[in-house]
């Protein structure tokens, strides 16, 4: 039972509501009405990349609300043009065309719709552990959970396994063979396809799927599979974009540029803003064929003004390099916890997007979801907000994603609380 009886008036939309009710937030902390402070290691919904209530973002929101917040969708404004310029300057070529939307699911819908139109095909492939949203086409390409009970999905949605370095079945004496698994996955796709393969949509790190990172070289191999079949590659960087992994976009590490890139979460630093980026060639082809994705809040000026300021701050303050530096410190601390506790089965991820998996022990690597839940609750009691995803076939995985503005002292404090929570929840 939630402490506020008004919560009973809400439709429950997944999991349960936290008993902690923040009254305000600032920087890396959430504050209850009585002043109790809780360190936020998930940046809200992995979105508040500049921390909460960043003073420059507050200033931009106030100014935009007073001057220009919303327009007819066919009108362009200076904030929209400014953000379009900033994004295309930031992204590698040929990603030089942008559409601005509100949510990650919406941007993925727009990307899938564009891919289908320009290829003249309809089949979409995704990872079997993926999460791309809960709307129409995005939900049909989401396989991590939430598929049962809603009736048939759209026609032409296929899945292959994501690489799982710990539990992937394609093992040889010298280790896990993700290339063989990828080739096998596409062999199955070819057998199932009706000859209408349009796109592959992928997250560079499958966060909701258990913080599974695509190993170096995987994206290049995936892009080649797509190229040979005339498919477009869509990368969903909702959580990995805007510097969180230690590069501005996660795909940069692999030297691969997608045909279509979607951004959300981190782009708005906690406010509803998303973007689709593609090339001039694909945009022209889509336009010629009558591409339509009209929404009430496409190209809204207020969130666009925020997005432009987010980019300015990230570049100006060197926060991409900071994510790499802080991520190394955090990962070292989490690895030390793994060395000290058998229930920590693995630490993985990149930059300030890390996962810690809770298991019964490292010999069996069996899931211990009950202990993961206890650690989560204990962390909150001690003043640390953590999020755990529990998926079939793996332990509970904490998704650890502090803001890029987090201090070393805050990282160390979070690690101290996590260590105490693990030690006291055996």
Domain that holds residue 413: 5-54+319-423
- Would you say residue 351 has pLDDT above 80? yes
User: 413: which 2 tokens?
Assistant: 């404090």
**Which tens digit of pLDDT belongs to each residue from 213-270?**
999 999 999 999 999 999 999 999 999 999 999 999 999 999 999 999 999 999 999 9
Say which residue, 320 or 4, is predicted with more confidence: 320
Query: Among the three residues 316, 337, 366, which one is the final residue of a domain in this structure?
Result: 316
194 and 307 housed in the same domain: yes
User: Percentage of residues in the chain with pLDDT exceeding 70?
Assistant: 100
Catalytic residue among 82, 239, 309, 350: 239
Clarify whether 390 is annotated catalytic.
no
User: CATH number, domain at 213?
Assistant: 3.40.640.10
Query: Among the three residues 265, 290, 316, which one is the final residue of a domain in this structure?
Result: 316
289 and 165 housed in the same domain: yes
User: 356: which 2 tokens?
Assistant: 């810690």
pLDDT level of residue 107 (50, 70, 90 thresholds): very high
- Would you say residue 174 has pLDDT above 90? no
Q: Is residue 61 part of a domain?
A: no
Q: Is residue 205 part of a domain?
A: yes
- Would you say residue 173 has pLDDT above 90? no
User: CATH number, domain at 323?
Assistant: 3.90.1150.10
- Would you say residue 1 has pLDDT above 80? no
- Would you say residue 20 has pLDDT above 90? yes
Clarify whether 331 is annotated catalytic.
no
Catalytic residue among 109, 236, 346, 368: 236
Clarify whether 179 is annotated catalytic.
no
- Would you say residue 16 has pLDDT above 90? no
Give the three-state DSSP class for 99: strand
Other C-beta atoms lying within 10 Å of the C-beta of residue 172: 8
What is the pTM (predicted TM-score) of this model?
0.97
> In terms of DSSP bridges, do strands 387-390 and 396-400 run parallel, antiparallel, or are they unpaired?
antiparallel
95 and 38 housed in the same domain: no
Cα dihedral sign for 337, 178, 278, 93? positive
Round the average pLDDT of the chain to a whole number and report it.
96
Structural domains in the chain (count): 2
Clarify whether 399 is annotated catalytic.
yes
**So what's the pLDDT on residue 14?**
87
Q: Read off φ and ψ for residue 379, nearest 5 degrees.
A: -55, -45
Catalytic residue among 97, 265, 350, 391: 265
Give the three-state DSSP class for 402: coil
pLDDT level of residue 2 (50, 70, 90 thresholds): confident
Q: Region 159-163: what's the mean pLDDT?
A: 97
Clarify whether 203 is annotated catalytic.
yes
Distance CA 333, CA 346 (A): 13
Clarify whether 239 is annotated catalytic.
yes
Q: Is residue 60 part of a domain?
A: no
The position carrying tokens 């290691």 is 41
């Amino acid at each position: 039972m939630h402490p506020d009886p008004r919560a009973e008036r809400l439709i429950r939309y997944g999991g349960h509501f936290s008993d902690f009710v923040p009254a305000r937030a600032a920087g890396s902390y959430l504050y209850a009405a009585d002043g109790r402070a809780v360190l936020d290691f998930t940046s809200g919904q992995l979105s508040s990349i500049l921390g909460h209530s960043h003073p420059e973002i507050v200033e931009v929101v106030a100014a935009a609300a007073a001057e220009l917040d919303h327009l007819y969708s066919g009108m362009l404004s200076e904030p929209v043009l400014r953000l379009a310029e900033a994004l295309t300057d930031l992204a590698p070529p040929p990603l030089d065309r942008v559409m601005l939307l509100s949510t990650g699911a919406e941007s993925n819908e727009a990307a899938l719709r564009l891919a289908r139109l320009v290829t003249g095909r309809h089949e979409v492939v995704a990872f079997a552990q993926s999460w791309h949203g809960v709307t129409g086409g995005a939900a049909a390409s989401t396989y991590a959970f939430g598929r049962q009970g809603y009736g048939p999905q759209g026609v032409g949605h296929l899945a292959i396994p994501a690489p799982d370095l710990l539990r992937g079945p394609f093992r040889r004496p010298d280790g896990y063979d993700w290339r063989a698994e990828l080739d096998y996955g596409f062999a199955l796709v070819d057998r199932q396809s009706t000859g209408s393969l349009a796109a592959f949509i992928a997250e560079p790190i499958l966060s909701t799927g258990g913080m599974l990172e695509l190993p170096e070289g995987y994206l290049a191999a995936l892009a080649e599979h797509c190229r040979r079949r005339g498919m477009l590659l869509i990368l969903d960087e909702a959580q990995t974009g805007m510097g969180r992994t230690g590069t501005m976009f996660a795909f940069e590490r692999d030297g691969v540029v997608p045909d279509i890139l979607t951004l959300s979460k981190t782009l708005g630093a906690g406010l509803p803003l998303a973007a689709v980026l593609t090339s001039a060639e694909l945009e022209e082809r889509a336009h010629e064929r009558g591409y339509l994705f009209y929404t009430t809040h496409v190209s809204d000026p207020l969130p666009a003004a925020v997005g432009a300021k987010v980019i300015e701050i990230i570049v100006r303050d060197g926060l991409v390099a900071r994510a790499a530096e802080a991520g190394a410190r955090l990962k070292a601390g989490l690895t030390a916890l793994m060395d000290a506790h058998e229930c920590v089965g693995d630490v993985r991820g990149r930059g300030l997007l890390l996962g810690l998996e809770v298991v019964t022990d490292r010999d069996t690597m069996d899931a211990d979801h009950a202990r993961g839940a206890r650690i989560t609750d204990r962390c909150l009691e001690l003043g640390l907000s953590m999020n755990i995803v529990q998926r079939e076939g793996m332990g509970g995985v904490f998704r650890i994603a502090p803001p890029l503005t987090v201090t070393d002292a805050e990282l160390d404090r979070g690690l101290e609380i996590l260590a105490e929570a693990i030690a006291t929840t055996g």
